[in-house]
Amino acid sequence: MKTSELLLSSLNITEDDYSYKGLFILSTNKKSRQMDMSELENDAKMADLKAYFNLEEDIAEIKMTLMDIIFDKAHISSVIIEGENYEENAKRKVTERHASSFDLA
42-55 mean pLDDT: 95
Residue-level pLDDT at 6: 95
Residue 21 lies in a domain: yes
Range of the domain at 49: 3-76
74-95 mean pLDDT: 58
85-95 mean pLDDT: 54
Residue 96 lies in a domain: no
DSSP 89: T
Of the CA atoms within 13 Å of residue 4, those in its CB half-sphere come to 5
Residue-level pLDDT at 98: 54
Residue-level pLDDT at 40: 92
Inter-residue contact 61 to 2 (CB < 8 Å): no
pTM over 0.75: no
Residue 84 lies in a domain: no
Number of domains, the chain: 1
Residue 92 lies in a domain: no
Residue-level pLDDT at 105: 47
Residue 76 has pLDDT above 70, yes or no: no
Residue 60 lies in a domain: yes
Residue 58 has pLDDT above 50, yes or no: yes
Residue 32 lies in a domain: yes
Residue-level pLDDT at 17: 82
Residue 39 lies in a domain: yes
Classified as helix, coil or strand, 6 is coil
Percent of the chain at pLDDT > 70 equals: 71
